[in-house]
């Protein structure tokens, strides 16, 4: 019988920890929270110090009884949920619901044998301040959500909601969209000269940067802003520094080209210098989510799910069950002294002492809690390669990212030899730059994102050979729409939310239909823009970024014991109640817009209209409610299906709501792709052109996309799921005119063959059963047995007929249904 009981959150963690603690311990899981505020009603007594009314979560009664029985059998009880505010709330809930007296609070920052055993040896009591901070957050969010949301239901649309943090995130998306809509692009031109050393084949490019008279002013402005990046440059706008030439029109570009006819190009200035590039910091929750999104194309929700699995533990063969990373909800880049010593030793052994760096340290921001270390491997010697066979492909990708980042952060800086040459041509100055990696440093494990541009060695006054001028027209770009990664970065920089809240924020915006993703970037829907407008007008404090960030800082004060949670809520609720009463009196009913179509209702002959509903846009009869005709709305891309010539339209997968593009003639045609189709056909083959990523130029689907697509998830035309296709086109099919159709049908053919095989097997089994029954019936039997035999034979015949019909139906269905 176990003498000590340990209660954690998840069964996976319980399984890992039980192996570390031995026979004297019983480890059980609470399966997350066991109590919460009620689903219906406010659940908070605002008149009595905001006392919350917690209820046992539905279907947790049996689990609680089991935990109570286990706690009574144990001499000691250790409560060991995750080491954060939410984990402290779960520990408090367990103590109260199970009726525990003075339980131990064990905190595991990593799930390794050493860390778990040390945490059990050095437990603490439940931290009331930490619990109160979580309780205050929960009550605050309930007050905002349950007071404002019903008002939005009545005045805007049923199913709408507001949240203390989600509404601010929605405002960021809507404000960015307003910037984009108001943006007026400016035209500018670049002029590139192709040059080489005299009588040398190696060519390089130089860009026009200034007039000769303005070069000194340009050098001065560059020196004063060296190492800085302006907001405009980060957003994609064209920034003109003092002294830099600005070519605003084709006429100006033509004038410069005319001036440069017959010009001699010679070197005015040539500089060589050594440049050091520092390694990145270890991962925090937000930077891990950002990199996993941009590098691995993982959604933040998926990233956190995989990180949780790596934290809780993986079966590693002879090593047993072990956690591979430290706790994944953190805003700190701090690394323990022991981990630093281990990683430096590993780097020295694997790469050499010259690769060992001091480690990056950053000054904690005012909003940083710094409760946990940065995200790192629990054992740096467990390289991604050594554990690959035990991990799923997605787990392996994320672990590799975390391991590489951690090791890179403690390696030496990379050293470059950089070269810059200013080249004069009459009254104009061109500039060429190049770099050469001299010492890789942290790039030995961290991938480089830029290519080397080498320049030949030149001398001041040296003449160069001229090979041509290339003028190019450009337009300044508006700030880009937020991706999941950039939205998380913005929330973190603004001090909005905390590591544990980024994923719920983004999920809520999409689940409520406030924002949609196009090419992985957020666009507000009509509903999102309307809710944002209403919130800005009637609840300006709730959607104010500074106000929300200040709330987070006050919650941190509650956690540190510097502020009472009741006082915090009382100060907020007084003003909020007044604002709420004013909004109730002044908020008008919002009428959803209706867009009339040039199409008549097939049921009643009246015009069809496009309406906005809770689940997006849809088409219905203008005579509603007398006429109930409706159908889904599709956005046409302007491109035609390469298989049947139908319209390619936007669709979404059913599970993850991921955008893809499919033929409007489905199920007759099952063509579907992830890339956005371009309306114009390929100028070379006349086939489909697609845009691989936002901001990229269209490319030929047949020539560029298909050759790269061998093993990759593909959308299905009905949006039910994404499938993995391993079909590889043969050389003949790649060269044939019908290659596009062959590729799209490859996976469907595999499924069809499987289904036909299954159907044939079923038919053979039914036939065999029928023959056996028939043989039995031919044997002489008593009248009673004969009657039974006849019934059996009749049932067998019916079964055979039914099975054959099902097999035939399955075969027919296979011919038309898309693969899943």
Identify whether the C-beta of residue 155 lies closer than 8 Å to the C-beta of residue 587. Answer: yes
- Active-site annotation holds for 327: yes
Q: For residues 412 and 248, what is the distance between their CA atoms, to the nearest angstrom?
A: 44
Catalytic residue (one of 327, 428, 514, 661)? 327
Backbone conformation region of residue 326, classed left if phi is above 0, alpha if psi is from -120 to 50, else beta: beta
Reading the block at residue 491, the tokens are 């929330």
Indicate the DSSP class of residue 587.
P
Reading the block at residue 690, the tokens are 């697609």
Q: For residues 78 and 82, what is the distance between their CA atoms, to the nearest angstrom?
A: 13
3-state secondary structure (DSSP) of residue 733? helix
State the angle between helix axes of 565-586 and 128-155 in degrees (0 to 180), rounded to the nearest 10. Answer: 0
Indicate the DSSP class of residue 418.
E
Residue 77: HSE in the Cβ half-sphere, 13 Å Cα cutoff: 25
Q: For residues 391 and 404, what is the distance between their CA atoms, to the nearest angstrom?
A: 16
Identify whether the C-beta of residue 329 lies closer than 8 Å to the C-beta of residue 499. Answer: yes
327 φ, ψ to 5°?
-55, 135
Residue from 212, 114, 107, 173 nearest 431 by CA: 212
Q: For residues 420 and 431, what is the distance between their CA atoms, to the nearest angstrom?
A: 7
The tokens 């005015």 sit on which residue? 268
Q: For residues 514 and 518, what is the distance between their CA atoms, to the nearest angstrom?
A: 13
Pairing of strands 25-29, 4-8: parallel
Q: For residues 65 and 565, what is the distance between their CA atoms, to the nearest angstrom?
A: 32
Q: Residue 585, Cβ neighbours under 10 Å: how many?
A: 6
Non-local CB neighbours of 334 within 8 Å, separated by 6+ positions: 361, 370, 373, 374
Q: For residues 37 and 55, what is the distance between their CA atoms, to the nearest angstrom?
A: 6
Give the residue numbers marked as catalytic: 327
């Amino acid at each position: 019988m176990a003498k000590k009981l340990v209660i954690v959150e998840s069964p996976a963690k319980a399984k890992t920890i039980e192996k570390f603690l031995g026979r004297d311990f019983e480890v059980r899981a609470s399966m997350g929270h066991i109590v919460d505020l009620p689903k219906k009603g406010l659940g908070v007594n605002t008149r009595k110090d905001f006392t919350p009314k917690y209820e046992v979560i539905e279907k947790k009664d049996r689990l609680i009884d089991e935990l109570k029985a286990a706690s009574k059998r144990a001499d000691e009880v250790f409560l060991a949920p995750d080491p954060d505010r939410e984990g402290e709330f779960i520990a408090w809930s367990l103590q109260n619901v199970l009726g525990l007296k003075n339980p131990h609070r064990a905190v595991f920052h990593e799930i390794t044998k050493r860390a778990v055993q040390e945490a059990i040896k050095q437990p603490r009591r439940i931290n009331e301040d930490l619990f109160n901070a979580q309780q205050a957050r929960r009550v605050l969010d309930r007050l905002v959500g349950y007071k404002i949301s019903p008002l939005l239901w009545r005045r805007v649309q049923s199913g709408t909601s507001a949240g203390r943090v989600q509404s601010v995130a929605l405002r960021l998306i809507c404000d960015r969209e307003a910037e984009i809509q108001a943006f007026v692009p400016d035209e500018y031109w670049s002029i590139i000269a192709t040059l080489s050393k005299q009588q040398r084949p190696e060519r390089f490019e130089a860009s026009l940067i200034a007039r000769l008279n303005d070069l000194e002013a340009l050098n001065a402005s560059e020196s004063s802003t060296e190492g800085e990046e302006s907001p405009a440059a980060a957003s994609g706008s064209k920034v003109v520094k003092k002294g830099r030439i600005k070519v605003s029109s084709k006429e100006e570009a033509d004038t410069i080209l005319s001036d440069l006819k017959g010009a001699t190009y010679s070197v005015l200035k040539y500089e060589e210098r050594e440049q050091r590039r520092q390694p990145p910091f270890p991962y925090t929750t937000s930077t891990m989510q950002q990199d996993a999104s941009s590098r691995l194309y993982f959604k933040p929700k998926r990233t956190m799910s995989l990180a949780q699995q790596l934290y809780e533990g993986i079966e590693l063969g002879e090593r047993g069950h072990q956690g591979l990373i430290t706790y994944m909800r953190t805003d700190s880049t701090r690394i323990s002294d022991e981990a630093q010593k281990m990683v430096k030793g590993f780097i020295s052994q694997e790469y050499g002492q010259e690769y060992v760096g001091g480690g990056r340290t950053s000054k904690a921001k005012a909003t940083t809690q710094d409760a946990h270390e940065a995200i790192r491997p629990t054992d740096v010697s467990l390289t991604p390669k050594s554990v690959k066979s035990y991990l799923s492909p997605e787990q392996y990708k994320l672990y590799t990212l975390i391991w590489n980042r951690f090791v890179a952060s403690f390696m030496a800086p990379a050293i470059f030899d950089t070269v810059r040459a200013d080249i004069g041509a009459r009254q104009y100055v061109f500039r060429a730059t190049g770099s050469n990696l001299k010492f890789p440093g942290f790039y030995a494990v961290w991938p480089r994102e830029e290519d080397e541009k080498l320049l030949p060695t030149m001398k001041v006054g040296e003449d160069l050979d001229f090979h041509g001028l290339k003028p190019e027209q450009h337009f300044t770009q508006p700030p880009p729409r937020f991706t999941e990664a950039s939205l998380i970065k913005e929330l973190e920089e603004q001090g909005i939310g905390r590591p544990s809240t980024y994923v719920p924020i983004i999920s809520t915006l999409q689940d409520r239909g406030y924002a949609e993703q196009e090419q992985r970037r957020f666009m507000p829907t009509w509903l999102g823009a309307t809710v944002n407008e209403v919130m800005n007008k009637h609840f300006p404090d709730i959607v104010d970024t500074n106000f929300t960030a200040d709330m987070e800082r006050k919650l941190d004060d509650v956690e540190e014991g510097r502020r009472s949670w009741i006082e915090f809520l009382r100060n907020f609720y007084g003003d909020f109640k007044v604002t709420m009463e004013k909004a109730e009196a002044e908020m008008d009913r919002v009428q959803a817009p209706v867009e009339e179509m040039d199409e008549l209702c097939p049921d009643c002959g009246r015009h069809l209209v496009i309406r906005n509903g809770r689940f997006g846009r849809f088409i219905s009869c203008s005579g509603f409610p007398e006429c109930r005709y409706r159908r889904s709305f599709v956005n046409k891309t302007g491109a035609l299906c390469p298989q049947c010539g139908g319209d390619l339209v936007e669709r979404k997968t059913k599970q993850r709501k991921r955008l893809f593009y499919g033929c409007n003639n489905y199920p007759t045609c099952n063509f579907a792709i992830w890339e956005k189709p371009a309306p114009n056909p390929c100028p070379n083959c006349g086939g489909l052109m697609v845009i691989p990523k936002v901001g990229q130029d269209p490319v030929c689907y047949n020539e560029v996309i298909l050759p790269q697509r061998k093993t990759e998830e593909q959308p299905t035309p009905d949006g039910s799921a994404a499938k993995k296709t391993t079909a590889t086109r043969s050389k003949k099919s790649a060269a044939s005119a019908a290659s596009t159709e062959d590729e799209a049908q490859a996976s469907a053919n595999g499924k069809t063959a499987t289904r036909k095989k299954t159907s044939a097997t079923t038919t053979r089994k039914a036939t065999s059963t029928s023959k056996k029954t028939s043989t039995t019936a031919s044997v002489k039997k008593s009248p009673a047995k004969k009657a039974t035999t006849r019934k059996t034979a009749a049932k067998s015949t019916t079964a055979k007929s039914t099975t054959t019909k099902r097999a035939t139906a399955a075969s027919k269905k296979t011919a038309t249904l898309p693969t899943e």
